[in-house]
């Protein structure tokens, strides 16, 4: 136990009042809730105490030791880090403006993703897209648009469903409200339909993999472009329901292990087809999904993992964290420990020179920067589903969300981040702007 | 080994990797990559299915394995040229070893196996091609999602439910690391994947599986994988199994017995669930204890569970 922690305990015993202790030890009034949470997190005995050690515990204990040390030193100082908005924005801006080294060839088929992750992060951090950037985004993304109505992951690549999701989202972010009209919606519709399989699922491209990511991305594209039809989604909700495993989360396809990324895609895709409080209970076992989701959060780390007995990773702040807005609407209960997740993100996921990461010791990258920021947004907001915004139209439910900042007088405004659309994963205002037209 | 110079290229003008006037995320390609990608695109554009096209797809995939367009092209070439499919799987093995997290290899492999299936009489011969790769890859990364998913595909495709080989495989992996959730998930598929929920099943058979699972829980009572598996059996076969029968087993890992060896959150939750019909106060007490003492990170969840007690 650290000296400061001992001191805190001593004060508690002597003074018998938590509040006084905090005023003496914690420098910043605004952070007392986060510090309290950190103390509770540190009270975890961790996995090292388990009798039978295996490879899983060996790796888990290593991560716990690292993180415990970091948290104890924070408690010593009594000062929590805030979001380094300026640093992260420069990190993102730098990569938007520079050429990428040859090592990025591995991501050559993921151009729409790289652009999406960077621009989305930039906007979540409060950045503004100027006209030049807006043109660059649309010009580049549209250069990946194929004759068949889908987007490839780069120049000259065949259309791919998840590349197309990133492309359409990037266009929404571009701040050019007419850019979506450059897509021939009829063609895109026919292309999506051509990837639909008999069982209700979708494949990425002919011969490509089938999984809940493909379903989610296909439904988001159709939803944003206004081409969602009963024909396109016949059997899809039922197929998604079959992906729920005995653990409660969703696998990529029926029978595969429950996994954070695939679970988000399944639950968000279902929520395009109807209000979460109706559609989730209709197609899956809600209680078991809640049980699996809450168990992804670690007592000590505060962050989440993507599967049972795997390690914490900042990106699951979004993939698993992002399931909670739907669960909280469906159950009408708070279910996530937002303060603990916030501690993990702010303390463990920020790289000093900008960018966000999986966990301490890992390097930041575009992917983690985006999804950790999405997770932070989740910690600060609550989603409401407003029946007044609903229409009879299929898919209308996706546009009936209001996302409000959780009123927390202790929240340091330096940490503020834009509200995120629970289904699409982009800032609320970018969805609204595109919707109005 | 076949090299670039073994083929005639003079008739082909490579297609430059297209760039817009103000590129975003522009990659500074190596000359090597520009060359092979340029030729691959040119050949693809003229839908050429030839040995040199087959060669160039290998070159691209070796540099950038996620180039799904090239995978699709290669498959078309394999079909047109009637390439040796077993050798194609061998090639695939090597790409897999080098690219543990690649998405394209597995559906590609499955397409090849489906072609091979038409030529081969014996499923065993086919499976013999798969097992060494899967064994090595699981040894490298015992929770590799893609590899387990491929194994699931094999089980479903060739109806390998409850076969000795699959059961022994999951047994071995669970014995090696009782917390390997992928192995537990696979075991559930192998044991019960083809059986409808709420149908009947040989009780003796289930009993053996339950004993095995309980043994694994005794080994490590804090392991959610084995608890989830146990409860899933009871849920799936609720027609013939009563969850209440787990009371005595679960309770030994709770504060409700004297000197428990260890207190398990999973055991507490299960006990609270079992009590919800007979003694709601007791369930509530347990949820409270989980919330304040054993599992405070999930205090919201425990209060949700408490609320549910009085809703049903």
ipTM of the complex: 0.96
CA distance A271 to A292: 18
Q: What is the pLDDT, as a whole number, of residue A434? A: 72
Residue of B nearest to A118 (CA): B25
Per-residue model confidence as pLDDT tens for chain B (312 residues):
899 999 999 999 999 876 778 889 999 999 999 999 999 999 999 999 999 999 999 999 999 999 999 999 999 999 999 999 999 999 999 999 999 889 999 999 999 999 999 988 788 989 999 999 999 999 999 999 999 999 999 999 999 999 999 999 999 999 999 999 999 999 999 999 999 877 778 889 999 999 999 999 999 999 999 999 999 999 999 999 999 999 999 999 999 999 999 999 999 999 999 999 999 999 999 999 999 999 999 999 999 999 999 886
- Does pTM surpass 0.90? yes
Subunit contact B18:A109, Cβ cutoff 8 A: no
Residue pair A205/A250 in contact (Cβ under 8 Å)? The answer is no
Q: Which residues pair with A202 in a beta bridge?
A: A196
DSSP state, residue A401: E
First to last CA, chain B: 70
- Three-class secondary structure of residue A49 per DSSP: helix
Residue pair A268/A422 in contact (Cβ under 8 Å)? The answer is yes
- Work out the burial of residue A97: count CB atoms within 10 Å of its CB; fewer than 13 is exposed, 13-18 middle, 19 or more buried: exposed
- Which pair of tokens denotes residue A234? 């016949």
For the domain spanning A31-434, the CATH number is 1.50.10.20
- Three-class secondary structure of residue A297 per DSSP: strand
Would the pLDDT of A298 be above 90?
A: yes
Residue pair A196/A232 in contact (Cβ under 8 Å)? The answer is yes
Residue pair B128/B168 in contact (Cβ under 8 Å)? The answer is no
- Work out the burial of residue A202: count CB atoms within 10 Å of its CB; fewer than 13 is exposed, 13-18 middle, 19 or more buried: buried
Query: What is the sign of the dihedral through the CA atoms of A107, A110, A111 and A117?
Result: negative
DSSP state, residue A159: P
Would the pLDDT of A119 be above 50?
A: yes
Q: What is the pLDDT, as a whole number, of residue A181? A: 94
Which residues of A carry out catalysis?
Answer: 259, 307, 310, 313, 315-316, 358, 365, 368
Q: What is the pLDDT, as a whole number, of residue A411? A: 86
| Chain B contact probe: residue of A156, A217, A284 with most B CBs at under 10 A | A156
CA distance B7 to B52: 6
Find the DSSP H helices in A195-345: 212-225, 230-233, 236-242, 260-273, 276-283, 286-294, 316-319, 324-331, 338-343
Distance from CA of B124 to the nearest CA of A (A): 23
- Which pair of tokens denotes residue B45? 């554009």
Query: What is the sign of the dihedral through the CA atoms of B35, B41, B47 and B51?
Result: positive
CA distance A290 to A274: 19
Strands A381-385 and A401-405: antiparallel
Subunit contact B179:A140, Cβ cutoff 8 A: no
Interface of B with A in 264-293 (CB under 8 A): none
CA nearest to A75, candidates A7, A16, A132: A7
Nearest-by-Cβ selection for B179 from A105, A158, A309: A309
- Work out the burial of residue A142: count CB atoms within 10 Å of its CB; fewer than 13 is exposed, 13-18 middle, 19 or more buried: middle
Query: What is the sign of the dihedral through the CA atoms of A407, A411, A413 and A415?
Result: negative
């Amino acid at each position: 136990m650290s000296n400061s922690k001992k001191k805190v305990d001593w004060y508690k015993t002597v003074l018998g009042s938590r509040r006084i202790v905090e005023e003496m030890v914690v420098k910043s009034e605004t952070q007392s809730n986060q510090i309290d949470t950190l103390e509770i997190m540190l009270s975890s005995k961790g996995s090292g105490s388990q009798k039978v050690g295996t490879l899983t515990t060996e790796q888990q204990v290593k991560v716990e030791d690292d993180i415990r040390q970091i948290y104890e030193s924070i408690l010593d100082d009594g000062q929590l880090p805030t979001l380094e908005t300026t640093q992260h924005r420069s990190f993102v801006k730098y990569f938007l403006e520079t050429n990428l080294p040859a090592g990025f060839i591995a991501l050559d088929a993921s151009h729409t993703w790289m652009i999406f992750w960077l621009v989305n992060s930039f906007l979540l951090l409060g950045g503004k897209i100027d006209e030049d950037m807006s043109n660059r985004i649309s010009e580049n993304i549209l250069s990946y648009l194929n004759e068949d109505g889908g987007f490839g992951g780069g120049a000259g690549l065949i259309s791919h469903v998840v590349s197309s999701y990133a492309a359409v989202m990037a266009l929404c972010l571009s701040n050019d409200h007419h850019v979506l009209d450059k897509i021939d919606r009829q063609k895109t519709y026919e292309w999506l339909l051509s990837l639909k399989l008999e069982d209700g699922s979708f494949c990425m491209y002919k011969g490509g993999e089938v999984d809940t990511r493909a379903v989610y991305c296909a439904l988001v594209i159709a939803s944003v472009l206004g081409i969602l039809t009963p024909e396109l989604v016949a059997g899809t909700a039922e197929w998604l329901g079959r992906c729920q495993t005995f653990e409660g989360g969703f696998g990529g396809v029926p029978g595969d292990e429950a996994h954070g990324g695939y679970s988000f895609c399944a639950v968000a895709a279902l929520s395009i087809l109807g209000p979460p409080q109706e559609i989730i209970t209709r197609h899956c076992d809600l209680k078991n999904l809640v049980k699996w989701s809450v168990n992804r959060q670690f007592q000590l780390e505060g962050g989440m993992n993507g599967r049972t007995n795997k390690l914490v990773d900042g990106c699951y702040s979004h993939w698993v964290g992002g399931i909670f807005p739907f669960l909280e609407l469906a159950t009408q209960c708070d279910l996530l420990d937002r303060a603990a997740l916030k501690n993990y993100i702010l303390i463990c996921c920020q790289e000093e020179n900008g960018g966000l990461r999986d966990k301490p010791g890992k390097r930041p990258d575009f992917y983690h920067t985006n999804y950790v920021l999405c997770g932070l947004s989740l910690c600060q907001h609550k989603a409401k589903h407003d029946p007044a915004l609903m229409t009879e139209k299929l898919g209308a439910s996706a546009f009936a969300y209001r996302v409000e900042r959780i009123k927390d007088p202790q929240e340091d405004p330096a940490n503020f981040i834009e509200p995120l659309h629970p289904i699409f994963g982009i800032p609320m205002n970018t969805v609204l702007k595109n919707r109005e037209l | 080994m076949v090299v670039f110079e073994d083929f005639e290229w003079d008739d082909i003008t490579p297609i430059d990797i297209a760039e817009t006037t103000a590129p975003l995320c522009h990659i500074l390609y190596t000359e090597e990559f520009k060359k092979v990608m340029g030729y691959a695109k040119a050949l693809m554009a003229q839908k050429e299915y030839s040995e040199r096209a087959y060669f160039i797809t290998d070159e691209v995939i070796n540099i950038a394995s996620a180039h799904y367009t090239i995978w699709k092209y290669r498959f078309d070439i394999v079909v047109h040229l009637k390439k040796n499919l077993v050798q194609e799987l061998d090639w695939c093995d090597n790409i897999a070893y080098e690219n543990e997290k690649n998405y394209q290899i597995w559906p590609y492999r499955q397409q090849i196996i489906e072609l091979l299936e038409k030529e081969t009489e014996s499923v065993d011969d086919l499976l013999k091609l798969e097992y060494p790769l899967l064994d090595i890859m699981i040894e490298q990364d015992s929770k590799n999602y893609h590899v387990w998913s491929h194994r699931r595909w094999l089980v479903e495709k060739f109806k390998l439910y409850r076969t000795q080989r699959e059961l022994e495989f999951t047994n071995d992996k669970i014995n090696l690391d009782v917390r390997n959730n992928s192995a537990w998930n696979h075991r559930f598929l192998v044991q019960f994947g083809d059986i409808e929920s709420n149908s009947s099943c040989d009780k003796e058979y289930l009993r053996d599986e339950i004993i095995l699972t309980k043994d694994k829980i005794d080994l490590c009572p804090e392991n959610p994988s084995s608890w989830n598996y146990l409860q899933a059996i009871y849920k799936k076969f609720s027609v013939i199994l009563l969850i209440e029968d787990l009371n005595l087993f679960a309770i030994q890992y709770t504060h409700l017995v004297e000197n428990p060896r260890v207190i398990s959150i999973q055991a507490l939750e299960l006990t609270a669930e079992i009590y919800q019909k007979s003694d709601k106060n007791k369930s509530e007490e347990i949820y409270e204890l989980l919330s304040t003492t054993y599992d405070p990170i999930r205090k919201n969840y425990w209060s949700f569970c408490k609320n549910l007690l009085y809703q049903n």
